[in-house]
Structure 1
Amino acid sequence: MDRQEISALAHADHPVAAPLAEGAVDRLLAAAIRRRDARLLDLGCGAGAWLLRALRAHPEATAVGVDVSGPSLGRARAAAAAAGVAERIELCQQDVTAFRPDRPADVVLCVGAAHAFGELLAVLDAARGHLAPDGAVVLGDAFWEQEPDPVVRADLEDGPQRYADLATTVARVAEHGWTPVYGHVSTLAEWDEYEWCWTGSLARWALDHPDHPDREQVLGVSAEHRAGWLGGYRGVLGFVTLVLRRQ
C-alpha cells in the first residue's frame, strides 16, 4: 500500500488532517472569510474537510481543492455530493507547487501541507501569487513546544523543513510581509484526539481485514507512529494555525 492510500486511511476518522477540533476550524474560517461569495483555494486539501465546512456555512462561496492523493480526493467528491455542494467545488489531482488558478482566491488555505512546498515561507510565496489583493491566508504548521531530543528532531525534520519555537515561527511569517489577524495553538487534547484517530483508524482497518495482503504493513505503520508520538514528540511538537493578511 502506498503512502497516499495509508494517509487516506489514517485520516478517515479525523478528516481535518491536523490537530484541531471542529470549533477551532469554524473560528479560523470565520476570521478568514469576509465575503459571502468568497472563492477559496486549499493547497493540499486532502479529503476537503476545510472547504466542505466553508461551503456549508457560506451558500454563495465556491472552492478549489488541490492534492496529489487520489483516494483523498475521492472521499472529498463523495462528501461534497452528500453535502449537496458538489457544484460549488472543483477538485484537482495535481502537485500543489505546479497548480495555477484561473483567477485569484479570497482565501488560500494550507494547513499541515507546508512540506509539499519544502518549507513554511515557500507556502506564503505561493499563496501571494494566488491571492486577491484583500484576501487572507489560513496557514497551519508545526513548531517546537520545547526543545526536542536530537533523535526526535532528526526524525521529524527529515526533509528540507525546519521547525522553530512559536515566537520565532510567527516572527518569521511577519518578517516575510504578513500580519496575523487571528490564530489558534492546538492543545494537547486536540493533539491526542488527532493521533488516536490517526493510529486507531489504521489499526482498526488492519484488524478488520485479516486476509488483506497489506494488513501487516498497515498495522506496522500504526504501531510505529504511535510509538513515535507517545515516546517522542507528544507535548514537544506543537501546531499553530494562523489567519494572515498582507502588510
Structure 2
Amino acid sequence: MDREEISRHAHADHPIAAPLDDESVRRLLERGLPRGDERVLDLGCGGGEWLLRALNTYPRLRAEGVDISEGSLARALREARRLGVEDRLVLHREDAAGFTAPHAFDLVLCVGSTHAFGGLLPTLDAVREHLAPGGRVLVGDGFWEREPSAETVEMLGDLADLPTTLDRVVADGWTPVHGHISTRRELDDYEWAWTGSLASWALDHRADPDSSQALETATVHRDEWLRGYRDTFGFVCLVLRPTRD
C-alpha cells in the first residue's frame, strides 16, 4: 500500500486533511472570500475538499486545484459532478511547486501542504507569484506549542513556536488579517480519525494483502502521536494579505 492509498483510507472520516472542524473551515473560507465571487487556487488540493466546500457555498466562485495524485483529483471531479459545481472547477495534475497559470487568483490556499514547497516561507514565496492585487492567502502549518524532543523534530521537521512563526511571516512581507489555532479537540479528533479510519479499513478487509500493513501503520502513527508529539505540536491557519501589493 503506497502513501496515497494510506492517506485515502486514513481521511475517510475526516476529508479535510488538517486538524480543523467544519465550523473552523467555514469561518476561514468566509474570511478568505469576502466578496464570494473570487477566483481561488488550492496548491496541493488533494481531493479538493476546500474547493468543493467553497464552490458549494459561493455560487459565483471559480476554483482551480493542483495536485500530483491522479486518484485524488478523480475523486474531486466525481464529487464536483455530484454537487453540480464541475463547470466552475478546473483541476491540474502536476507538482504544485512548478505550477503556472495565465491569470492571478484572489485567494490562494495551501493548508497542510507546505512540505511540497520546503516549508512555510518557501510556500509563501510561491504563493505570491499567483496572487492578484488585493488578494489573500490561506495557509495552514504546524508550530511548537512547547519545546519538542529531538525525536519529535526528526519526525515532524524544524518548526518554530507560534510567536516566532508569526514574526517570520510578517518579516517576509505579509500581514495576518485572521487566524485560527486548532483546539485540543480538533487536534485529537483529527488524529483519532486518521488512525481509527485506517485501522477500521484494515479490520474490515482482513483478506486484503495490504491489511496488515495498514493496521501496523495506524498503530505506529497512534504511538508516535500519543508518546511523541501530542503535547508539543500545534497547528495554525492564517489569512494573510501582502503588506505591500
State, as a whole percentage, how many aligned pairs show the same letter. 55
Aligned twin of 2:25:
25
Matched residues in 2 for 1:173 and 1:113: separation? Answer: 17
Aligned twin of 1:63:
63
Matched residues in 1 for 2:191 and 2:179: separation? Answer: 21
The code of the aligned residue for 2:91 comes to L
Matched residues in 1 for 2:26 and 2:74: separation? Answer: 24
Aligned twin of 2:40:
40
Matched residues in 2 for 1:93 and 1:12: separation? Answer: 22
Aligned twin of 1:211:
207
Matched residues in 2 for 1:243 and 1:232: separation? Answer: 29
Matched residues in 2 for 1:72 and 1:196: separation? Answer: 22
The size of the alignment, in residue pairs, is 243
Matched residues in 1 for 2:12 and 2:6: separation? Answer: 10
Matched residues in 1 for 2:175 and 2:159: separation? Answer: 20
Bigger shift: 71-80 or 131-140? 71-80
Matched residues in 1 for 2:127 and 2:196: separation? Answer: 34
**Structure 2 unaligned residues grouped into runs of 5+:** none
Aligned twin of 1:236:
232
Please list every run of at least 4 consecutive aligned residues from structure 1 whose deviation after the TM superposition is greater than 4 angstroms.
none
Matched residues in 2 for 1:178 and 1:212: separation? Answer: 49
Q: CA deviation digits over 1:129-152, x for unaligned, max 9?
A: 001011000010000000011111
TM-score normalised by length of structure 1: 0.96
Bigger shift: 163-172 or 64-73? 64-73
Secondary structure of the corresponding residue to residue 17 of structure 2: coil
Bigger shift: 84-93 or 110-119? 84-93
Matched residues in 2 for 1:221 and 1:31: separation? Answer: 36
Matched residues in 2 for 1:82 and 1:222: separation? Answer: 31
Aligned twin of 2:169:
173
Shift of 1:69: 1.6
Describe how 1:1-247 pairs up with structure 2 within 5 A.
1-157=1-157, 162-247=158-243
The code of the aligned residue for 1:67 comes to D
Secondary structure of the corresponding residue to residue 82 of structure 1: helix
Shift of 1:74: 2.1
Matched residues in 1 for 2:178 and 2:30: separation? Answer: 10
Secondary structure of the corresponding residue to residue 138 of structure 2: strand
**Structure 1 unaligned residues grouped into runs of 5+:** none
Bigger shift: 164-173 or 146-155? 146-155
The code of the aligned residue for 1:220 comes to E
Matched residues in 2 for 1:58 and 1:236: separation? Answer: 37
The code of the aligned residue for 2:241 comes to R
TM-score normalised by length of structure 2: 0.97
